[in-house]
């Protein structure tokens, strides 16, 4: 069994634990904490073997000679969006890009396998078409498509393009990015999502090289998105100052996420995706 098959096997019975009270109006597989006649009626669906016969509506049967059962909102689906940063800064370091895709693919698999509705968008300036799917029949296909995804075109400005992509009617928005944009731009984005009454999961993916560069001497640094060039002399003092700033930046990101009621997770490319999913996500109560 290869690593992909092993991961899929572990994802089979997992669910995303979403706090939102909003629900869609199509049948899903989620269970409510409410029971009995207090459930809010939604509509009818055809009786299937194994359904509770007490829920059969005999008035409808009298008119149609077919068995229908009442469907309640505890059976309704969730609509969940995953926005994967596919700009050049994410794709420049292969191990970082691979981890981001693995997380996106795994979460997409869980969503579809739970019969929830998925909106997946690889956000960049390349104009990649989003994926809109529902149903476990698409879970494996979508998982593999995301892992195999690649964009060779140079692309930048994740926040600007994400603002154009956001879908309002989602219960949960999952953002997977390196989070290296300006703090105020990210804050405005999260404020916008919170105004839509969406739950927010912000997953920051960075490489170990970005956290602690191992460079020395005079260097020419090229921005992977804007191609701007900066000449610097890398000394232990400069690197220490950089490390201080990026950790402070990440701390502010986490604070902003909490301010808007969201969850912040940090993932470094020196870790295994299964450890991140089944330790970090599960530890925060996001996957069960």
- Residue 52 and residue 115 in one domain: no
- Residue 159 and residue 215 in one domain: yes
More confident residue, 261 or 124: 261
- Residue 268 and residue 168 in one domain: yes
Say whether pLDDT at 36 is over 50. Answer: no
CA angle 21, 105, 191 (to 5 degrees): 45
More confident residue, 65 or 20: 65
In this structure, is residue 149 part of a structural domain?
A: yes
The domain that holds 165 is classified in CATH as 3.40.50.410
- Residue 65 and residue 127 in one domain: no
**How much is the pTM?**
0.80
Per-residue pLDDT at 230: 73
Summarised one tens digit per residue, pLDDT across range 236-287 is: 898 899 999 999 999 999 999 999 999 999 999 999 999 999 999 999 999 9
In this structure, is residue 191 part of a structural domain?
A: yes
More confident residue, 59 or 21: 59
In this structure, is residue 70 part of a structural domain?
A: yes
- Residue 41 and residue 181 in one domain: no
Q: Which of left, alpha, beta for 36 (phi over 0: left; psi -120 to 50: alpha)?
A: left
- Residue 197 and residue 255 in one domain: yes
Cα within 13 Å of Cα(266), Cβ side: 16
Domain span holding position 60: 36-75
- Residue 138 and residue 233 in one domain: yes
Banded model confidence at residue 35, pLDDT cuts 50, 70, 90: very low
- Residue 61 and residue 158 in one domain: no
- Residue 119 and residue 241 in one domain: yes
**Beta strands of 199-279 (E only): which ranges?**
199-206, 217-222, 229-234, 263-268
The per-residue pLDDT of the chain, averaged, comes to 85
Percent of the chain with pLDDT over 90: 56
Summarised one tens digit per residue, pLDDT across range 5-15 is: 889 999 998 99
More confident residue, 238 or 34: 238
Instruction: For residues 173-196, give the mean pLDDT.
Output: 96
In this structure, is residue 253 part of a structural domain?
A: yes
- Residue 124 and residue 265 in one domain: yes
CA distance 207 to 96: 5
Summarised one tens digit per residue, pLDDT across range 73-118 is: 555 679 999 999 999 889 989 999 999 999 999 999 999 999 899 9
CB 276 within 8 A of CB 7: no
Summarised one tens digit per residue, pLDDT across range 57-79 is: 888 888 888 888 776 555 567 99
- Residue 51 and residue 160 in one domain: no
Using the 3D structure, point to which of 75, 98, 133 is the last residue of a domain.
75
- Residue 46 and residue 101 in one domain: no
CA distance 239 to 139: 43
Q: How many structural domains is the chain composed of?
A: 2
103 CB-near residues (< 8 Å, 6+ apart)? 176, 203, 205, 267, 273, 276, 277
């Amino acid at each position: 069994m290869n690593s992909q098959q092993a991961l899929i096997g572990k994802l089979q019975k997992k669910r995303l634990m979403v706090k939102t009270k909003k629900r869609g109006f199509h049948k899903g597989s989620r269970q409510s904490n409410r029971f009995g006649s207090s459930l809010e009626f939604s509509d009818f669906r055809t009786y299937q073997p194994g359904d509770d016969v007490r829920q059969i509506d005999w008035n409808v049967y009298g008119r149609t000679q077919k068995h229908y059962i009442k469907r309640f909102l505890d059976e309704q689906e969730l609509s969940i969006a995953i926005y994967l940063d596919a700009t050049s800064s994410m794709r420049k370091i292969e191990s970082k890009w691979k981890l981001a895709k693995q997380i996106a693919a795994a979460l997409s698999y869980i969503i579809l396998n739970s019969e929830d509705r998925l909106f997946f968008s690889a956000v960049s300036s390349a104009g990649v078409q989003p994926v809109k799917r529902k149903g476990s029949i698409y879970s494996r296909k979508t998982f593999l498509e995301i892992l195999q995804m690649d964009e060779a075109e140079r692309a930048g400005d994740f926040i600007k393009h994400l603002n154009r992509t956001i879908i309002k009617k989602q219960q949960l928005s999952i953002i997977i990015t390196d989070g290296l944009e300006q703090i105020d731009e990210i804050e405005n984005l999260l404020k916008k999502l919170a105004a839509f009454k969406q739950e927010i999961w912000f997953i920051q993916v960075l490489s170990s090289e970005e956290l602690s560069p191992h460079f020395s001497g005079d260097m020419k640094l090229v921005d992977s998105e804007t191609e701007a060039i900066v000449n610097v002399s890398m000394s232990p003092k400069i690197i220490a100052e950089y490390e201080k700033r990026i950790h402070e930046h990440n701390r502010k990101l986490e604070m902003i996420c909490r301010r808007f009621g969201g969850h912040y997770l940090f993932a470094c490319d020196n870790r295994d995706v299964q450890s991140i999913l089944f330790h970090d996500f599960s530890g925060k109560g996001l996957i069960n």
